[in-house]
Amino acid sequence: MVKKSSDHIIKVENLSFGYSSNIILRDVSFSVGHGEIISIVGPNGGGKTTLLKLLLGFLKPQSGTVLIKGKSPESARKYMGYVPQYMTLDRKFPITVGEVILSGRVRPFGFYTKKDRLRVSEAMEALELCELKNERFSEISGGQIQRMLIARSILSDAEILLLDEPTSNIDSPSQNRLNLILKELSKKMTILIVTHDTGFVSNITDRVFCINKTLAEHPIDDRFSKIVSSSYGNQSFIVRHDTKLNSTGRGNS
Amino acid sequence: MTDFLHALLSSDVPFIRYALITGLVSSVPFGIIGSFVVVKRMSYVAGAVSHSVLGGIGLALFCNNVLGLKQISPMTGAFTFAILMSVILSYAIIRGKERIDTVIGAIWAVGMSIGLLFMSVTPGYTDPMSYLFGNILLLTFRDILLITVLAAIITVISGIFYNQIVATIFDEDFARIRGLNVNIFMIMLIVLISVTILLLITIVGIVMVIAMLTIPPAIGGLFTKKLRGMMAISAGLCAVFMTAGLVLSFLLSLPTGSLTVVIAGVAYILSIIFYRVRNGMIRARLEIK
C-alpha cells in the first residue's frame, strides 16, 4: 500500500540479478509512491547494495524491469540523489564542505554559475551547515558529512534520495538530527534508506523492505522487531513515531 | 651566481636558457596535474607511464639511425608511447577486470625493456642514463616550442574541465548520477598525466618524475584546504625547485635532475617539520585557553 501517493515514482517488477551461478536477487517486485520513506534492511550479502546499484542504473538486471518515473534508471538519474557511505570517500581529499555541496550542480560541460553558488547557501541553511562552509571535509564529523552529502543531493534537484547506511559510525544525537532532517525532506522527496540499523528506520519509515535474496515487506508495528530478529538474527529496537527518547537515546521497544 | 647570470644571457650556452624557460613554462601544468595525481593516489600510474616512455625513445632512436626516419625525434617517440600507455592503462582501469597493480608493473617493465633493446641494436653509443636521469643538454629550441604548446594545452584543458575532473575523482558514483561520462574524464586525466610526465622527463629524467610530480603538491596540501590552493602552491614550488636545481647544478657542476629532486625532498622534510611544530603550538595554545 502506498501511503502518501498512489502515483508510483519507482516500480520494480520481477527483478533478478546475480553473478554467474550466484543469485543475489530473485524475483523482486515493489513500488514506491511520491513522498514515501522506505527502508531496505537485511543481512550482509542479502542484496541491499545490489538493489541500490540496480536502482541507480550502475548494474543491469538479468531479468525483470526497473522504472524510475516511468523511465529506465540510466535515463532517470537526474532525478536521483545518492548519499554514499561516507567511509568510501577519501577523507584526505583537499575540498571544503561548500565545494562538495556545490558539486551537486556539476554538469557534463561548463562552469558553476552565480545561481549555483547562491543555492549552496540555501542548502547549507536547510541542513544547518552554514558555519562549516569553509571547513575542510576531513575535519568534520560523520554526522556533519551525512548532512553535507544530503545537501549536495538537494542541490542536484533530486526527487528521490537514496541513502546507503546513513547511520553507520555516527553518534546518537547526530542520528536524531538526521532523523528530523529526513522527515522534513520527505515532504518534497521520496527517500530510500539502505541500512542495518533497524532501530533508526523504525522511527521514520513508512514501510520496510527486508531483503535476503527475495524481498518481503514488513509493517512498522509491534511485530516488527520480532520479525526482524527471527528472520535476520538482528536484535532490534522499535522507536515509535510518537515516542519521546529517553536519556539513553532508546525509546520503548 | 654572477657566472650563472652571465651564462644565462650568453648566446654560447643556449641550453641554460632553454632549461630555465622549460622549467618555468612547465611549472603550471606540473602543479595542476601533480595535485590530481596526489589526491587520486595515482603516483604509480605516473611511474609506469614515465618508465615506459623509454620504449618510445629507444624506438625513435632506432628509426632515426637505422631506418633513416630523421623526422622522428626521441621526444616524438616518447610522446607516442606516453599516449599509447595511457590508453592501455585507462582501458585496464575502466574495465576493472585485471589487477591494476599487475598492469602497472607490466607497462613499467616492458616499456623500459623495449627501450633498452632498441638502444642496444642501434649503431653507435646511446647513453640511457641521460634519459633516465635527465640531461638539459638534450633540449633543443624545437623541444621548447613543443613543451610550451603542450603545457598550454594541459593547462587550458584542466581549467575547462576542472569541475568535472574533481567531481569524478572525489565521488565517481555521484558524478555518474549527475550525467558525467566518468570514463571519458578518467581517460582525459590519465592522458593529461602522461603528457605532463613527458614534459617533466626532459628536465628531471624518467626515474625522478614521480618525485617532482608528487612532492610539490604534497607540500601544498599541508598548507591549504582547497585543491586549487594546492595546485597554486605546487606550481610555485615547482618553479622554485627547478630554478634552484638549475642554478646549483651550474655552480656545483652536478646533475640538474638529481639536484632538483634532492632540493624538493629537503623542502618536503622541512615542510613536514614546520607543519607539525606549528600544529603542536596551536594545540598547546588552545589547551592553555
Residue type, position B190, single letter: I
Residue with cell 625493456: B113
Nearest CA in chain B to A80: B177
Q: Which of B171, B180, B279, B282 to mutate to test the interface with A (most CBs of A within 10 A)?
A: B171
pLDDT computed for residue B155 by the predictor: 94
> What cell numbers appear for B244 in the block?
634552484
The boundaries of the domain holding residue A158 are 8-232
- Which residue matches cell numbers 643556449? B14
How confident is the model over B86-108, as a mean pLDDT? 88
Looking at mean pLDDT, say which of A79-83, B18-22, B136-140 comes out highest: A79-83
| CATH classification at residue A64 | 3.40.50.300
Q: Given pLDDT bands bounded at 50, 70 and 90, which one contains residue B27?
A: very high
Return the residue of B nearest to A133 by Cα.
Answer: B225
| B283 contact residues in A (CB cutoff 8 A) | none
* Residue A171 confidence (pLDDT): 78
Looking at beta carbons, which residues of chain A come within 8 Å of B173? 56, 58, 82, 84
H helix intervals, A103-190 = 114-126, 142-155, 172-185
**Residue count (chain B):** 289
Is residue A252 domain-resident?
A: no
- Can you give the pLDDT of all 253 residues of chain A as single tens digits? 444 555 789 999 999 999 877 889 999 999 999 989 999 988 888 888 899 999 999 999 999 999 999 999 999 988 999 998 887 899 889 999 999 999 999 999 999 999 999 999 988 988 888 899 999 988 898 889 989 999 999 898 899 999 988 887 777 788 888 888 888 888 889 999 998 777 777 678 888 888 888 888 876 665 666 666 665 555 444 444 333 333 333 333 3
User: What backbone phi and psi angles, to 5 degrees, belong to A178?
Assistant: -60, -40
Assigned domain for A249 exists: no
- List, for residues B67-96, the tens digit of each pLDDT value: 888 888 888 899 899 999 999 999 888 887
User: What's the rounded Cα separation, in Å, for the pair A103 and B167?
Assistant: 6
In this prediction, residue A229 carries a pLDDT of 60
Q: Which of B36, B72, B70, B2 is nearest to B194 (CA)?
A: B36
Q: What is the DSSP letter of A125?
A: H
Determine the residue among B170, B222, B228, B231 to mutate to test chain A binding: the one whose Cβ has the most chain A Cβ atoms within 10 Å.
B170
Mean pLDDT value across residues B95-109: 88
**pLDDT tens digits, one per residue of A23-46:** 899 999 999 999 899 999 888 888
The predicted pLDDT at position B98 comes to 79
The answer to whether residues A64 and A28 touch, using CB atoms and an 8 Å cutoff, is: yes
Q: What is the pLDDT of residue A4?
A: 53
The model's pLDDT over B46-55, given as tens digits with 9 standing for 90+, comes to: 999 999 999 9
Give chain B's domains with CATH numbers: 2-288 (1.10.3470.10)
Domain contains A226 = yes
pLDDT of res. A221: 65
Q: How far is A51 from chain B, CA to nearest CA, in Å?
A: 15
Is the Cβ pair A94, B225 closer than 8 Å?
yes
Do the beta carbons of residue A210 and residue A232 sit within 8 Å? yes
State how many domains chain A has: 1
ipTM over 0.90: no
Which stretches of chain A sit within 8 Å of chain B by CB?
A: 56, 58, 77-78, 80-82, 84, 89-90, 92-96, 99-100, 103-104, 106-109, 111-112, 134-136, 152, 156
Q: Does residue A247 belong to any structural domain of this protein?
A: no
